[in-house]
Amino acid sequence: MRYLLIICLFVLASCASQNNSLNKADESSSSKTARSNTAKVGQTLSKGLKLVSSSKSPMRASLPDQGSGISYRFEVELETNEQIDFTKAWIRGKCYPVVMKRMMPEQVGTPTKRGEKLVLYVYHYDKLPMNKSVTMYDDKPPFSYSGEGLISYEVEGEVSYLQVKKIPYAKS
C-alpha cells in the first residue's frame, strides 16, 4: 500500500510540474508509417506503449456523500524496458489525472519491463466525495484528436500520447 501511495504521489507531482508548452501533434492511425507521417518534430504517438483494452463504468457509492461519476479503465502493454511516467488524460476534451496500477501485487516497487501489462484509471466525478481531495485540471488537449480519449506519458524524457478511439461500457 505504501508503494502504491508513493507511485500515486509521483504521478501527481509529474502532473503538477508538466509544462503547458507541449509541442503539437496531429492524429494518426495505428500503423507506424502513419504515426511517423503525422507527428510533429519532438512528439511521438504511442511510443513504448500499446492499448490492450478500454472500458468505462458508473461509480455509485453506497452513501450519497461518497461521490459518484464514471470510472475509466485502460489496460496497456509496455513495449519498452524504460520507465514510463503517466501524466494526464483527456476524455472528451476534459483533463484528468491518471492513476497507474500494476497487474500483480509482487510487481509493486520493482522496475517495469517489456511485455508487462499495467492498468490505468481515470475518474470523472459528477458529485465530488466529501472529505476527500480530488485533483482537477483545466488544461486543454495539446492537439486535436479524434476518438474519446488521449493519454499523455513520458518515456525516455520524451512526451508521447496514446489515443483511445472508443471507450465502451464494461460488460456486467
Rounded to whole angstroms, what are the CA distances from 74 to 71, 99, 149? 10, 10, 10
* pLDDT over 60 (residue 16): no
User: Which segment of 19-33, 50-64, 102-116, 139-153 scores lowest on mean pLDDT?
Assistant: 19-33
Backbone angles phi, psi at 81, to 5 degrees: -95, -5
Q: What are the pLDDT digits (tens) for 25-76? A: 333 333 332 232 233 333 456 788 999 999 999 998 788 778 899 999 999 9
> Which phi-psi region, left, alpha or beta, contains residue 3 (left: φ > 0; alpha: ψ -120 to 50)?
alpha
Give me the chain's average pLDDT, please.
Answer: 76
Query: What pLDDT score was predicted for residue 106?
Result: 79
* pLDDT over 80 (residue 4): no
Q: What are the pLDDT digits (tens) for 119-142? A: 999 999 888 888 777 787 889 999
As a dihedral over the C-alpha atoms of residue 112, residue 27, residue 22, residue 80, rounded to 10 degrees, the angle is 20
Q: Which ranges of the chain would DSSP assign to H, the alpha helix?
A: 2-16, 32-38
Question: What is the reported pTM?
Answer: 0.71
Domain boundaries, the chain: 2-17+46-164
